[in-house]
Amino acid sequence: DGGITQSPKYLFRKEGQNVTLSCEQNLNHDAMYWYRQDPGQGLRLIYYSQIVNDFQKGDIAEGYSVSREKKESFPLTVTSAQKNPTAFYLCASSTGAGIYNEQFFGPGTRLTVL
Amino acid sequence: AQSVAQPEDQVNVAEGNPLTVKCTYSVSGNPYLFWYVQYPNRGLQFLLKYITGDNLVKGSYGFEAEFNKSQTSFHLKKPSALVSDSALYFCAVRDRNAGNMLTFGGGTRLMVKP
């Protein structure tokens, strides 16, 4: 999984609670991304960041928040406003957001709402 | 808007036989195409990409893909399948007109039987 770590691997949350998923990379990549994966569906982009202290909403940002205070770190908070948060969450990074650059993925965090 | 279609939810092939995983795309500009593989409960691993040039692209683990502009396809192929190739495969596309973001197909599960 190439220098990208995500923690925890499994996370259980009660309804109404906020939880934060960690993503760290030591690849010196500028761009970082958060995706959500549901069974039978491809990945959907939640948020992305092309540079420190800047981030943009993806296709399904509602109910999520992020920060990018350090180049290495891009934590994702799943808030109580997210109606159906149970899913597999994947973090990725790339050298830049340029069109040629492939993304490298972390091992994922499986979030289950009880 | 850009989109990717993987028409087969699952592909079954016998070990030693050639395999093909299909992908078609729709973009308004020039496509930049990627294949990723996902093993159970893991992140995605990059296999190969098409940016420009030769229509036949070679990638990791003996995989290759053929870009066909007239058919808007980018099928993944391997001459001789291994049981260890069994996994979930994702095709993805980027288009400058869509902000350089990756759009993923729904995934195809490849099952290679001994």
State the Cα–Cα distance between residues B37 and B109, nearest whole angstrom: 10
Enumerate residues 2 to 31 of chain B having a beta carbon within 8 A of any beta carbon in chain A: 4, 9
pLDDT at A96: 73
Q: A55 pLDDT exceeds 80?
A: yes
Closest CA to A44 of A34, A30, A55, A56: A34
CB nearest B44 (choices: A58, A90, A100): A90
Residues of chain B found within 8 Å of residue A48, distances taken between Cβ atoms: 101
Question: pLDDT, tens digit, for every residue of B57-108?
Answer: 999 999 999 999 999 999 999 999 999 999 999 999 987 766 668 899 999 9
**C-alpha count within 13 angstroms, C-beta hemisphere, residue B88:** 18
Residues of chain A found within 8 Å of residue B34, distances taken between Cβ atoms: 102
Question: pLDDT, tens digit, for every residue of B24-61?
Answer: 999 888 889 999 999 987 889 999 999 888 999 999 99
State the Cα–Cα distance between residues B22 and A11, nearest whole angstrom: 34
